[in-house]
Amino acid sequence: MLTAGVLLWVTAAFAAAIAGDLSEVKARGVLRHLGIPYAHFVTGSGDGLDVEVIQRFAAYLGVKYEYVETDWKHVIGDLTGEVVKPEGDKVKVTGHVPVRGDLIANGLTMLPWREQVVDYSVPTFPSGVWLIARAGSAMSPVEGSGNPGSDVSAVKAMLRGREILAMKNTCLDPDLYRLHKTGARVVLYTRSTNLNEMVPAILRDAAEATLLDVPDALIALDKWPGEIKVIGPVSAPQRMGVAFPKSSLRLRKAFNAFFKQLWHDGTYLALVKKYYPTVMTYFGDFFDSTTPKVAAVR
């Protein structure tokens, strides 16, 4: 028999689980966008690629837009109500917190452990993790072979004994790429959870090189020309997308339909070029269709 206290907890947990689906968003009249200032997806100054996309999505739904800032440590809990701890490709739930938003959009990489606790939209942006070194590093960029696996192996073969900066519980987590097996001396960045600080850290000699995902690397190459260089990939090609609670099936379907329209009419490509003007040089094939890649509306 459930006690009043247990019943109250179950009711609260159920409410948190269903918060944020399409009917609830429309009844509230506000779409809450969880975002982390990162690269040019969320600049922290009121704009960014994902900010503009979600503002348009709110207008598409006929509701107001609200930005809710969070960080890498709390973002999943802010969406799902569950505090989670990734353990390899598995996830352990360690607690419960209030739900603060309806979706996450800030260049969120699709990782196996994240897919256990959230559902992603269709892919919105290409990514991958590269090794970025100071310009004076003795490591030389790998010559692309056309085989991603071979290129990753070539990069990892250089890492024995070298200090590589990484960050736990993010897309730059060294465990995701088995860096411990390369003999690298992994240095964990703990000063903050701001991925934008990784390149400045290696320029201050925190390590010889750092892991960096593709969108941030493109920005860094423009921001610090001649000071850093791309050695090559440490991951297979990845994708980014908008994350939804697993209970928000209708909201996710609505976003996929909206995004397909945004892609088809050219609006999305124009936004991409606005915030990532060099991305077509590296990933033009991702954007070369009139419909999103792997983007059948689910």
Counting Cα atoms < 13 Å in the Cβ hemisphere of 131 gives: 31
Spatial contact of 31 and 54, defined as CB atoms under 8 Å apart: yes
Q: What is the mean pLDDT of the chain?
A: 90
Q: Per-residue pLDDT tens for 21-66?
A: 999 999 999 999 999 999 999 998 999 999 999 999 999 999 999 9
Spatial contact of 162 and 139, defined as CB atoms under 8 Å apart: yes
Per-residue confidence (pLDDT) for residue 1, from 0 to 100: 44
Q: In sequence order, what are the beta bridge partners of 164?
A: 186, 209
pTM of the predicted model as reported, rounded to 2 decimal places: 0.83
Per-residue confidence (pLDDT) for residue 11, from 0 to 100: 41
Q: Per-residue pLDDT tens for 151-189?
A: 999 999 999 999 999 999 888 999 999 999 999 999 999
pLDDT at position 2 over 50: no
Domains of the chain are 4-126+238-287 (3.40.190.10), 129-233 (3.40.190.10)
**pLDDT (mean) for 70-87:** 94
Spatial contact of 97 and 77, defined as CB atoms under 8 Å apart: yes
Per-residue confidence (pLDDT) for residue 283, from 0 to 100: 87
Per-residue confidence (pLDDT) for residue 169, from 0 to 100: 85
pLDDT at position 17 over 50: no
Q: Per-residue pLDDT tens for 116-155?
A: 999 999 999 999 999 999 999 999 999 888 888 999 999 9
Spatial contact of 199 and 228, defined as CB atoms under 8 Å apart: yes
pLDDT at position 288 over 90: no
Per-residue confidence (pLDDT) for residue 132, from 0 to 100: 98
Q: Per-residue pLDDT tens for 232-281?
A: 999 999 999 999 999 999 999 999 999 999 999 999 999 999 999 988 88
